A = this chain, B = another copy of it.
Amino acid sequence: MSAQLARPHILDPHGALDPCATCEARPVSVCNAIADTDLGRLAAIAVVTETEPGQCFIDEGEPANSFFNITAGTAKLFKLLPDGRRQITGFVGAGHFLGLAVSDTYAFSAEAIERVRFCRFQRSKLRMLLDDFPLMEKRLLEVAANELVAAQEQMLLLGRKTARERLASFLLLQSRQGMPCGHSRRRFSLPMTRSDIADYLGLTIETVSRTLTKLRSEGLIDVVSQAEIIVRNPSGLEGLAGGLC
């Protein structure tokens, strides 16, 4: 018998540390639908992985063998046109579940912006697990429903809002990122580049840059550094964004 580490109370039956029990993303993730006592089963099929910034960990069109659950860092999801035009469909952080599509290939690509850590689940294994934990399936449905609402909001932005309105909406969204519902930060930093913002808002980097400058000159925001934003006039921004809920 090999030497045991300390803290045997968080060892699972196989003698390894249970990563799920101590996972900092659990409170904000679908995993919280699984009781502590059953957490070992989830941990048993989770493969924790880390990626460097700029690294792609999901490729549109490839066979969809895995589900993913982000536990740290930020990634961008995007779709490409044959000629290289790109649409970023979302920025995802800790707690976000990926790969829900029913199709047998991924419908989008995912690339790490910051260093990203995630759990990878083999689809077939997770599906079996879900059969035993209907509560988690319920949570997934909730999550999917919320994402659908967000997607519709983004369609409104892309189809009908001006560049100014898009930037205002985007900045407000970022200021609420990770905050409890109804709250926001006045000061926050953007982990993504201007190019990412442009491809998320259906604009060019030049228009993003120009519009940010304009918003700054009007006193609505402050651009402390390239990545650092301060919202000077939240209600003004909200007015511009046009009733983003």
Contacts and interface: CB of A to CB of B under 8 A. Distances in A.
A201 interface: yes
A148 B144 CA distance: 8
Contact of A202 (B83, B103, B159): B159
Interface string A133-155: 01001101110111111011111
Interface in A169-205: 199, 201-202
B147 A137 contact: no
Interface stretch (A20-28, A49-57, A84-92, A225-233): A84-92
B82 A160 contact: no
A242 interface: yes
Contacts of A154: 155
Contact of A152 (B79, B102, B145, B153): B79
Size category of the binding interface on chain A:
35 or more
A111 B193 CA distance: 39
Contacts of A151: 148, 151-152, 155
A101 interface: yes
A16 interface: no
Contacts of A81: 156, 160-161, 242-243
A148 B41 CA distance: 28
Given A101-B149, A103-B149, A108-B152, A158 B82 contact: no
Contacts of A103: 149
A129 to B, nearest CB: 13
Contacts of A144: 100, 141, 144-145, 148
Interface string A77-117: 10101110111010000000000111100011000000000
A235 to B, nearest CB: 14
A148 B138 CA distance: 17
Contact of A134 (B107, B134, B152): B134
Residue picked from A79, A108, A161, most chain B C-beta under 10 Å: A79
Nearest to A239: B82
Given A81-B242, A140-B141, 11 more contacts: A87-B156, A87-B160, A100-B144, A101-B145, A102-B146, A107-B152, A134-B137, A147-B148, A148-B148, A151-B155, A159-B202
Q: What are the 3 A-B residue pairs with the smallest beta carbon separation, nearest first?
A: A159-B202, A158-B158, A151-B151
